[in-house]
Amino acid sequence: MVIHFDDVSFKYIDRLLLDHASFSVTEEDKVGIIGVNGTGKTTLLKLLLGLEKPISGAIIQSGGMILNYLPQAPEFEEDVPILKLIMKNSTKEHPILEYEAKSILSKLGFHEYEATTRHFSGGQKKRLALAEVLVSYSDFLLLDEPTNHLDNEMILWLEKYLIKFRRGLLMVTHDRYFLQRVCNKMLELDYGKTYLYDANYEKFLELKAVRLENEKKEQLKLKSILKTEAEWMHRGVEARRTKSKSRIERFEKLSQITFHEAKDMAFSSKDTYLGKTIIEMKHGSKAYGDMKLFSDVSFSLKRSDVIGIVGDNGAGKTTLFKILMQEETLDEGELILGETLKIGYFSQILDCIDPEIRVIDYIKEEQSYIETLDGTISASELLERFLFTSELQYSKVKMLSGGEKRRLQLVRVLMRNPNVLLLDEPTNDLDIYTIEILEDYIESFKGPILIVSHDRYFLDKICNQLLVYEHGTICPYLLSFSEFLNQVQKEKNTMSITKGARPKENKFPAKLRNEQARLEKDIQDYEEKVKEITNQIASITTDYVQLMEKEKIKKEIEQKLDEAITRLLEIEEIKEQYLS
């Protein structure tokens, strides 16, 4: 199976996203798509699906190819059970087994299979859409930010799943560890051009550096030629009469070349006064009804703290931020805030921005100038440092991609020049280049920072400690995030061995392999019996006694089915420990 872009160009209103792009990928390739927000990464996936049409060129696919697509913001029918939703692509040629669907749902945090999406959050819908594309057959998976809204355990599971995936993959993601471990090729979008690298993420960085250096030399050479030709063209009238036609044409061609130079994106915060007390919590507790988020938590922020806040989805991480901003209160304990506190809060929810407002005006609503270590800079200069060109600054917000709007939201937060930062999933939907700018800013920031994130690379790079939600409280760790995850995995392995599991360096035991095969067959048999007896019940119209007997038999079979699925999931967990 092959996908081939042949001289493809695509324009969105006045923005040229693809400029005569040509490349090919096969079903053996796992491709990470990389580029600044707004360069057309999502558009590339939509072109593959036929949701967008190129203005020129051709997109050629092998006949009969099946593509599965995970969008950034999926939507579902509200009143259909989630199990039915993700099994809708089951066909005679490519059936979806119910126990497999339930297994994937369970891995992604869904345990009520008859639940509907009516009250689902955006994050829950994203995880459900991921379940749907994984259980459905495809020749190529097209994934747009698959790790968004996944907790750490889910991300690690998905990473292993995609590493073992034996067909084609094209994926947009900001997760650099994920790119490094899953993808064997990188497709970079840069100023409308595409560059396909036969490399993982680490090697891609090396190859890109070589490419940029070569392009820089070539640009300097072209500029030197252009300068010489310009001087020649602007000589006196007599000289013009002797100019050759070919040399004039050469000058006109050189004059049309657009030079794209990498800009220095450094941005450092100004040192602002912070008193002895910044933020302090003493014996704090918070619960919602019977759900305890944390209890008896005490901490005091210091100026140099860069703290990663880690926990499962729904643990209460965002609630902690709301308490610190006094939008919610503690049930017990005391919160003490410094008098000079000026919090900058970057929410994981995209601000509702007036689509008709210009980008520059949205930032100027906050203020027109900001004090930095390099002196006073304007709103326009700050936008420039966050990859908003002069042309884009005077465009309306509705022209921006989802990632660009998120980047714009970040610029507005920084424009307030805060002395404490609360960042809630800051890397979601940001491109890698903007994340790197944010990392540089954080390293220069002259105040404490609290960060909720599941981005392992980001947390490893910038955090000097962790606050982890576990066992009904929040525990401090002086570890990197990877060190913490390794510690958790060692504890799990120790528990498995303690419970009687054999060390994972041994082969997966034959006894468990046989039980797994038996359970898979039993589950199929139980599912067939449930369907059969359901049809029998539907045909009974008057015999109440017979109806009750059939209902009783059905419940007994469903009970056995649930028990078999539960045991199969347990065996799959044990198997992963042997294979990991």
pLDDT average per 10 residues of sequence, the chain (580 residues)? 94 87 94 91 94 95 92 91 93 89 91 90 90 94 92 89 92 93 94 92 89 77 64 55 57 56 51 78 91 92 93 87 94 93 88 90 90 81 87 90 88 88 90 87 88 92 93 91 87 66 61 86 87 84 81 85 79 70
Assess whether 459 and 541 both reside in one domain. Answer: no
190 belongs to a structural domain: yes
Q: How many domains does the chain have?
A: 3
CB atoms within 10 A of CB 337: 15
Q: Are 90 and 153 in contact (CB under 8 A)?
A: no
Contacts with 371 (C-beta within 8 Å, 6 or more apart), sequence order = 270, 417
| End-of-domain residue from the set 183, 204, 225 | 204
What's the one-letter identity of residue 168? G
| End-of-domain residue from the set 175, 204, 233 | 204
| End-of-domain residue from the set 155, 172, 204 | 204
Give the SS3 label for residue 292. strand
Assess whether 431 and 291 both reside in one domain. Answer: yes
Contacts with 80 (C-beta within 8 Å, 6 or more apart), sequence order = 116, 117
Assess whether 473 and 517 both reside in one domain. Answer: no
266 belongs to a structural domain: no
233 belongs to a structural domain: no
Question: Cα dihedral angle (34, 37, 38, 39), rounded to 10 degrees?
Answer: -20
The CA distances from residue 176 to 2, 76, 179, 343, in Å, are 26, 30, 5, 29
Nearest of 387, 442, 288 to residue 453 by alpha carbon: 442
End-to-end CA distance of the chain: 30
520 belongs to a structural domain: yes
What angle do the packed helices 245-255 and 201-233 form, to 10 degrees? Answer: 140
Q: What is the pLDDT of residue 265?
A: 44
H helical segments located in 280-358: 317-324
Assess whether 125 and 181 both reside in one domain. Answer: yes
CB atoms within 10 A of CB 78: 10
243 belongs to a structural domain: no
Cα–Cα distance for residue pair 419/208, rounded to 1 Å: 36
Range of the domain at 524: 510-579
Cα–Cα distance for residue pair 307/76, rounded to 1 Å: 36
Assess whether 26 and 165 both reside in one domain. Answer: yes
Dihedral sign for Cα atoms in the order 287, 290, 296, 298? negative
Q: What is the pLDDT of residue 237?
A: 47
**DSSP states of 129-168 as a string?**
HHHHHHHS--SEEEEESTTTT--HHHHHHHHHHHHH--SE
144 belongs to a structural domain: yes
Cα–Cα distance for residue pair 260/309, rounded to 1 Å: 39
CATH of the domain at 388: 3.40.50.300
What angle do the packed helices 98-107 and 122-135 form, to 10 degrees? Answer: 140
Assess whether 42 and 107 both reside in one domain. Answer: yes
Assess whether 383 and 459 both reside in one domain. Answer: yes
Assess whether 472 and 525 both reside in one domain. Answer: no
Q: Are 336 and 282 in contact (CB under 8 A)?
A: yes
Question: Which 8-state DSSP code applies to residue 269?
Answer: B
Cα–Cα distance for residue pair 229/254, rounded to 1 Å: 9
Assess whether 458 and 514 both reside in one domain. Answer: no
Long-range contacts made by residues 512-521, C-beta under 8 angstroms, separation at least 24? 512/571, 512/574, 512/575, 515/567, 515/571, 516/568, 516/571, 516/572, 516/575, 519/564, 519/567, 519/568, 519/571, 520/99, 520/568
Cα–Cα distance for residue pair 329/322, rounded to 1 Å: 8
Strand duo 449-452 + 306-310: pairing: parallel
Cα–Cα distance for residue pair 160/546, rounded to 1 Å: 49
Q: What is the pLDDT of residue 417?
A: 83
293 belongs to a structural domain: yes
Which phi and psi (to 5°) does residue 261 adopt?
-105, 135
Assess whether 31 and 165 both reside in one domain. Answer: yes
Nearest of 279, 274, 267, 280 to residue 419 by alpha carbon: 274
Assess whether 451 and 553 both reside in one domain. Answer: no
111 belongs to a structural domain: yes
What's the one-letter identity of residue 372? T
The CA distances from residue 152 to 399, 459, 475, 563, in Å, are 33, 12, 17, 27
Assess whether 28 and 123 both reside in one domain. Answer: yes
